[in-house]
């Protein structure tokens, strides 16, 4: 596909997708009608053959959703909840062929070096990512250690007691309107249980799982890391995700027990028409550590603030977040740490980049409850603005109800310096190459925390975002 | 490249007038450097030496109001700094800016590729990693630099000496036709200056046309200038051989000011203007 300007490539790609008839009814096993009401919610529950407690939970959540007003802060939400499909059960293949996938998307996949099987999965050609062969032995190893790793639908059927014990305990449906929505219509997502003392020593990726519903619009992830256990979970991927629907609203709940450790890494790159409204929260018990690494690219509006509640002494929370807002995009991202016990510590590092009229906002909360003495928190947020059209804002909220604490906050906003550009250009780099290099350097401290292949993909993705940004 | 070709490359500055922030700094500079020659540019602070370097390299803050700069038969003033670099021009900066998060080796691999393959388009392959690393390690050894240094972020937290050595390393890798060294000796101790001086001589001898901007003659010990130029009040007022550099180093600029009263008056006016601006 020939495009006149590179900057619009994602817009054009999205428009192209809409042009194709990907919603071929016959190819789906089941598809609920548009709109949201008790009947639809019942239907979803029926389709999944869920136990009654989950059906009741969904219906109750729908009531809460209906009773809650839209958030009045953050970004501009222009959503018609009745004009959305809430449940589509995919068949083995989703009714589009590889030939139908727009050239721009294929090109992006190639540039990212995505393997063939994965490309088809990402483009919606295949419903299942053929992971069995590659990851079969790893799956066996996990199972022998007692680690449960499955999609959440299956978990509700096969591990009902375990799921019920923790489900919606970290993020109740009443938490916010979109958590309520997800609770009513959720589908897919990961369920992970790591037994006491088990240390999984390689990053666990969503691809290990075979169910396609992981990439649904309303995925629901629940991770329980039992005492002394350890896990690094990597969700999603850096390739652009294309869906025909405009709303993605996930819930991720994590429980990190005494002396346990959990790291959750996501890099998401959404198409430009998507509202990405996600609630992510972890609770950390005595001397437990929770780390969120969260990268956000693309989407029309992202509102996402991974949170750590430190419930017992010695708990630690760390959040690293990267946001890249290009033309027509608003990244309202940040972090939330709540110190509920003595000697808890937290760190938030946020880096945002705005370009081509994009807007990125840091929104963060540091809260220290009374009694949480000797708590320490450090917040660093840096924004880089690439041109005069783009915008960056910072909304730091600090609520402290205890005297004996150490809280630090540093914020900086910078523009790509003329001196830096000149210096790199005087060594033969073009203006675009120089800008890309400066942006790459800006996020380097976070990129080096990523697993190798993700770091490489993220860098390539930023190069793609930067292409055509100058001149 | 044959010797004959080497000698034909020429950098020619013609009646160059440059303003910074609307204020005229250079008022008609003429200078010709052939590849293989070493020229020294001396002069008191504020006489316009660094401005000349920045304008030749194409800094956007330095506005050329008149004149031309030629590399052979191309007027490079029409080009961006990157194109000038790809035409074989290099400048070692007095105070190079830091680029946080960008490793020296990564930056230099990209830069070296672009300069050596001027026809390369964005997104195309860089020089093969092994080949590049091998050469980088050799050059670093020559400059007595720890190979680990290449992993550091460009100019971030570098000491004065490290900064200057990194600039010389870049010059060694980029192999320019013409190099401008802007006070590469400033802020260095005696040993560091000697090392820098030897390195420049080793890298540059007969391969480059070099313009050394300096206050001192230390850098010139190993790089005896074919010509010494003296700048005052935005013009080159005198040109001589290596003996002129020695004289200025020993006696300062009083004789120059006395011999060129008009330029000295310009210098004084510019100085007062600058002092006035600082006070405001």
B260 touches chain A (CB under 8 A): no
- What range does the domain containing A252 cover? 108-467
A59 part of a folded domain: yes
- CA dihedral sign of residues A141, A142, A143, A144: positive
Distance CA A388, CA A99 (A): 40
Nearest C-alpha in A relative to B102: A441
A2 part of a folded domain: no
Q: Do B100 and A443 touch (CB under 8 A)?
A: no
3-state secondary structure of A62: helix
- In tens, the pLDDT along A16-75 reads 333 322 333 334 456 677 889 999 999 999 988 999 999 999 999 999 999 999 888 777
Question: A44 CB contacts (<8 Å, ≥6 apart)?
Answer: A32, A58, A86, A87, A185, A187
Chain B contacts of A444, Cβ < 8 Å? 100-102, 153
- In tens, the pLDDT along B250-264 reads 899 999 999 999 999
Distance CA A123, CA A108 (A): 11
Residues A94 and A130 reside in one and the same domain:
no
Chain B contacts of A414, Cβ < 8 Å? none
A471 touches chain B (CB under 8 A): no
Q: Chain A closest CA to B158's CA: distance in Å?
A: 16
What secondary structure letter does DSSP report for B226? S
Single residue among A51, A81, A104 that ends a domain in this structure: A104
Distance CA A457, CA A335 (A): 24
A435 part of a folded domain: yes
Q: How far is CA A187 from the centre of its chain?
A: 16
Single residue among A104, A122, A141 that ends a domain in this structure: A104
Residues A252 and A130 reside in one and the same domain:
yes
- CA dihedral sign of residues A108, A111, A114, A120: positive
Residue whose C-alpha is closest to residue B118's, from B146, B95, B84: B84
pLDDT mean over A9-17: 36
For an interface test with B, give the residue of A424, A427, A445 to mutate (most B CBs within 10 A). A427
Range B6-36 burial, b when 16+ CB lie within 10 A, else e: beebbbbbeebbbbbeeebbbbebebebbbb
A113 touches chain B (CB under 8 A): no
Chain B contacts of A423, Cβ < 8 Å? 93, 96-97, 99
- In tens, the pLDDT along A259-273 reads 999 999 988 888 778
Residue whose C-alpha is closest to residue B103's, from B67, B60, B132: B132
Task: Return the number of other C-beta atoms located less than 10 Å from residue A1's C-beta.
Answer: 12
DSSP letters, A343-411, are T-EEEEEEEEEE-TT-EEEEEEEEEE-TT-TT-EEEEEEEEEE-STT-EEEEEEEEEE--SS-EEEEEE
Q: What separation in angstroms does the CA of B147 have from each of A155, A174, B28, B143?
A: 52, 57, 44, 10
Q: What separation in angstroms does the CA of A309 have from each of A337, A371, A400, A401, A437?
A: 6, 15, 14, 15, 36
Distance CA B65, CA B70 (A): 16
Chain B contacts of A441, Cβ < 8 Å? 99-102, 153-154
**Two tokens, residue A255:** 């429980």
pLDDT value, residue A31 = 65
pLDDT value, residue A312 = 98
> Domain tally for chain A?
2
3-state secondary structure of A416: coil
A311 part of a folded domain: yes
pLDDT mean over A144-154: 89
Distance CA A294, CA A70 (A): 24
Tokens 């930023």 belong to residue: A462
A95 part of a folded domain: yes
Q: Given pLDDT bands bounded at 50, 70 and 90, which one contains residue A189?
A: confident
Residues A80 and A150 reside in one and the same domain:
no
Residues A77 and A151 reside in one and the same domain:
no
Q: A451-456, long-range: CB within 8 Å, 24+ apart, which pairs?
A: A451/A203, A451/A234, A451/A265, A454/A234, A454/A238, A454/A265, A454/A267, A456/A113
CB A229 within 8 A of CB A196: yes
**In a structure prediction context, what are the per-residue pLDDT tens digits for chain B, which is 280 residues long?**
444 444 579 999 999 999 999 999 999 999 999 999 999 999 998 899 999 999 999 999 999 999 999 999 999 999 999 999 999 999 999 999 999 999 999 999 999 999 999 888 877 889 999 999 999 999 999 888 999 999 999 999 998 889 999 999 999 999 999 999 998 887 777 887 888 888 888 887 668 999 999 877 777 877 889 999 999 999 999 999 999 998 998 899 999 999 999 999 988 888 887 766 655 5
pLDDT mean over A201-230: 74
Q: Do B122 and A430 touch (CB under 8 A)?
A: yes
Distance CA A189, CA A460 (A): 27
Chain A contacts of B170, Cβ < 8 Å? 427
DSSP letters, A224-253, are EE-TT-EEEEEES-SSPB--S-SEE--EEE
What secondary structure letter does DSSP report for A95? S
Residue whose C-alpha is closest to residue A183's, from A166, A164, A168: A168
For an interface test with B, give the residue of A108, A110, A428 to mutate (most B CBs within 10 A). A428
Residues A191 and A310 reside in one and the same domain:
yes
What secondary structure letter does DSSP report for A32? P
Residues A112 and A98 reside in one and the same domain:
no
Residues A116 and A88 reside in one and the same domain:
no
Distance between terminal CA atoms of chain B?
A: 55
- Over 90: is that where the pLDDT of A150 sits? no
**Two tokens, residue B170:** 């870049």
Q: Chain A closest CA to B144's CA: distance in Å?
A: 22
Q: How far is CA B1 from the centre of its chain?
A: 24
Distance CA A445, CA A381 (A): 12
Phi, psi of A234 (to 5 degrees): -115, 120
Give A467: exposed, middle or buried? Use CB within 10 Å, 0-12, 13-18, 19+: middle
Single residue among A104, A124, A140 that ends a domain in this structure: A104
**Two tokens, residue B119:** 């026809």
Residues A258 and A352 reside in one and the same domain:
yes
Strand partners, B25: none
Q: Do A427 and B102 touch (CB under 8 A)?
A: no
Report the residue from A426, A429, A433 with minimal CB separation from B57.
A426
Q: Do A432 and B122 touch (CB under 8 A)?
A: yes
Question: B129 CB contacts (<8 Å, ≥6 apart)?
Answer: B109
A201 part of a folded domain: yes
Residues A161 and A248 reside in one and the same domain:
yes
Structure ipTM: 0.94
Residues A208 and A100 reside in one and the same domain:
no
Q: A130-133, long-range: CB within 8 Å, 24+ apart, which pairs?
A: A131/A207, A131/A208, A131/A209, A131/A210, A132/A210
Question: B114 CB contacts (<8 Å, ≥6 apart)?
Answer: A427, A428, A429, A430, A433, B82, B85, B86, B120
Distance CA A82, CA B224 (A): 82
Residues A96 and A126 reside in one and the same domain:
no
Residues A227 and A362 reside in one and the same domain:
yes
Distance CA A250, CA A178 (A): 8
CB A40 within 8 A of CB A65: no
A-B CB pairs within 8 A amount to 85
- In tens, the pLDDT along A346-371 reads 999 999 999 999 999 999 999 999 99
Chain B contacts of A467, Cβ < 8 Å? 122-123
Domains of chain B by start residue, with CATH: 2-279 (3.40.50.300)
DSSP letters, B66-126, are EEEEEETTEEGGGS-HHHHHHTTEEEE-SSPPP-TT-BHHHHHHHHHHHHH-TTPPTTSPP
A52 part of a folded domain: yes
A1 part of a folded domain: no
Q: Which residue has the higher pLDDT, A237 or A449?
A: A449
Q: Given pLDDT bands bounded at 50, 70 and 90, which one contains residue A204?
A: confident
A126-140, A210-224, B61-75, B217-231 — which is least confidently predicted?
A126-140
Q: Provide the CB-side half-sphere exposure for A77 (13 A, CA).
A: 20
- In tens, the pLDDT along B186-219 reads 777 788 788 888 888 888 766 899 999 987 777 7
Task: Return the number of other C-beta atoms located less than 10 Å from residue A402's C-beta.
Answer: 16
Q: Which of residues 436-455 of A touch B (CB under 8 A)?
A: 437-438, 440-445
Strand partners, B52: none
């Amino acid at each position: 596909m020939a495009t006149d300007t590179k900057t619009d490539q994602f817009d054009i790609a999205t428009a192209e997708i809409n042009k194709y008839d990907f919603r071929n009814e016959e190819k789906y096993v089941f598809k609920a009608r548009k709109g949201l009401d008790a009947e639809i919610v019942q239907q979803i529950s029926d389709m999944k053959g869920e136990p009654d407690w989950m059906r009741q939970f969904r219906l109750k959540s729908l009531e809460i959703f209906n009773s809650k007003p839209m958030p009045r802060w953050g970004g501009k939400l222009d959503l018609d909840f009745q004009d959305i499909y809430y449940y589509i059960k995919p068949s083995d293949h989703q009714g589009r062929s590889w030939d139908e996938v727009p050239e721009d998307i294929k090109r992006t996949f190639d540039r990212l070096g995505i393997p063939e099987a994965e490309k088809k999965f990402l483009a919606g050609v295949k419903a299942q990512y053929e992971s069995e062969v590659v990851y079969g032995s790893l799956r066996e190893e996990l199972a022998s250690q007692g680690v449960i790793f499955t999609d959440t639908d299956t978990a509700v059927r096969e591990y009902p007691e375990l799921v019920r014990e923790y489900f919606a305990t970290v993020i109740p449906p009443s938490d916010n309107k979109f958590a309520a929505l997800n609770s009513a219509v959720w589908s897919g997502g990961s369920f992970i249980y790591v037994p006491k003392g088990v240390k999984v020593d390689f990053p666990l990726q969503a691809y290990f799982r075979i169910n396609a519903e992981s990439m649904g619009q309303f995925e629901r992830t629940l991770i329980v890391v039992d005492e002394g256990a350890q896990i690094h979970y990597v969700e999603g991927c850096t390739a652009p995700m294309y869906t025909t629907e405009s709303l993605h609203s996930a819930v991720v709940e994590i429980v990190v027990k005494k002396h346990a450790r959990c790291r959750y890494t996501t890099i998401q790159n959404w198409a430009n028409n998507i509202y990405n409204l996600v609630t992510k929260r972890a609770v950390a018990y005595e001397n437990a550590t929770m780390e969120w690494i969260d990268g956000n690219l693309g989407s029309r509006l992202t509102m996402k603030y991974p949170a750590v509640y430190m419930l017992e002494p010695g708990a630690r929370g760390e959040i690293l977040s990267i946001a890249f807002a290009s033309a027509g995009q608003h990244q309202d991202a940040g972090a939330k740490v709540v110190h509920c016990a003595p000697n808890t510590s937290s760190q938030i590092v946020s880096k945002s980049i705005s370009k081509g009229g994009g807007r990125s906002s840091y929104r963060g909360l540091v809260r220290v409850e009374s009694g949480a003495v000797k708590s320490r928190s450090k917040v660093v947020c840096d924004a880089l603005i690439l041109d005069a059209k783009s915008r960056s804002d910072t909304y730091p909220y600090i609520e402290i109800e205890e005297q004996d604490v150490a809280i630090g906050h540093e914020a900086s906003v910078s523009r790509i310096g003329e001196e830096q550009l000149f210096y790199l250009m005087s060594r033969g780099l073009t203006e675009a190459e120089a800008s890309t290099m400066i942006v790459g350097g800006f996020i380097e401290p976070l990129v080096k925390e990523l697993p190798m292949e993700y770091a490489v993909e993220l860098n390539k993705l930023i190069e793609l975002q930067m292409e055509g940004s100058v001149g | 490249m044959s010797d004959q070709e080497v000698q034909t490359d020429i950098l020619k500055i013609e009646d160059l007038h440059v303003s910074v922030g609307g204020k005229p700094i250079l008022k008609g500079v003429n200078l010709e450097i052939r590849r293989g020659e070493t020229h020294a540019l001396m002069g008191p602070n504020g006489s316009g030496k660094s401005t000349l370097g920045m304008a030749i390299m194409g800094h956007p803050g330095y506005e050329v109001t008149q004149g031309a700069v030629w590399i052979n038969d191309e007027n490079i003033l029409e080009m961006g700094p990157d194109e000038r670099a790809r035409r074989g021009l290099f400048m070692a900066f007095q105070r190079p800016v830091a680029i946080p998060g960008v490793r020296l080796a990564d930056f230099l691999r990209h830069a070296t590729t672009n300069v050596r393959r001027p026809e390369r388009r964005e997104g195309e392959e860089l020089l093969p990693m092994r080949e590049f690393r091998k050469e980088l390690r050799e050059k670093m050894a020559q400059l007595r630099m720890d190979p680990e240094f290449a992993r550091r972020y460009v100019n971030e937290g570098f000491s004065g000496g490290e900064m200057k050595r990194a600039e010389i390393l870049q010059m060694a890798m980029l192999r320019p036709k013409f190099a401008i060294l802007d006070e590469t000796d400033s802020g260095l101790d005696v040993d560091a200056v000697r090392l820098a001086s030897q390195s420049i001589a080793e890298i540059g001898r007969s391969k480059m046309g070099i313009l050394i901007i300096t206050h001192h003659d230390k850098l010139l010990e190993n790089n005896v200038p074919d010509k010494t130029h003296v700048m005052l009040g935005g013009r080159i007022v005198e040109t001589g051989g290596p003996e002129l550099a020695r004289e200025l180093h020993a006696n300062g600029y009083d004789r120059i000011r006395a011999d060129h009263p008009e330029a000295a008056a310009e210098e004084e006016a510019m100085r007062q203007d600058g002092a006035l601006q600082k006070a405001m």
